[in-house]
Amino acid sequence: MINEFREGHEDSFNALYKEFYRPLRYFALKIVDDEQEAEDIVTESMVKLWQRRTRFSDIQQIKSFLFTITQHAALNVLRNRRLQSDKRKFVAEEAESANNTTFFDELVLTELISKIAAEVEKLPKAQREVFKLSYFEGFSTEEIRDSLGMNPAAVYTNRKRALQSLRNYFRHLDLYLYLLISWLLIN
């Protein structure tokens, strides 16, 4: 099976995916305490395994690689979560200092959401579908996989590329608006 995997046979990758997905998900979940993030971490780890498949000669190397990379990714999520918390506090403080939301504020927010929706429509089809199901419909990675017939790695990759495209598009705005849009894209 290892030789087939190294040669790029998807059946052997799927067998490894089935063997390691649950233990890795449990491991990541114990660190990040969030189902969706744990699933994303494991999917990303499996993508990295596939990309580096020619480097492995036995199952133990694969297992060590997967658990190590999953642990690093989970710890990065915790670091990013702390940074996001700081950003959210900043946005919340700014919003609170503005007192009550005015009609103009609501109008600006509506316009921003419209711009995000318009940019989502410009994404490539796979990215657009994954983004909409994930962020507008609240689907999990597995639900998106079942709905679109994609493997979990493709779901993760398309979600990540869609977010990156949207962030890049809105990056030219001033810092406050960029943070607000980033927050909207995350939530």
Q: Are 120 and 132 in contact (CB under 8 A)?
A: yes
pLDDT of residue 113: 74
Least confident of 59-63, 92-96, 132-136: 92-96
Average pLDDT over residues 22-38: 93
Average pLDDT over residues 99-117: 67
The pTM of the whole model exceeds 0.75: no
Average pLDDT over residues 114-134: 88
Q: Are 59 and 2 in contact (CB under 8 A)?
A: yes
pLDDT of residue 118: 84
Can you give the residue ranges of every domain in the chain? 1-98, 100-187
CA distances, 21 to each of 26, 43, 113, 153, 185 (Å)? 9, 8, 35, 12, 27
- pLDDT tens-digit readout, 155-167: 999 999 988 888 8
Q: 1-98 with 100-187: one CATH topology?
A: no
Residue 91, token pair as written in the block: 């946005």
Kindly report the CATH class assigned to 1-98: mainly alpha
Q: Say whether domain 100-187 belongs to CATH 3.40.309.10.
A: no
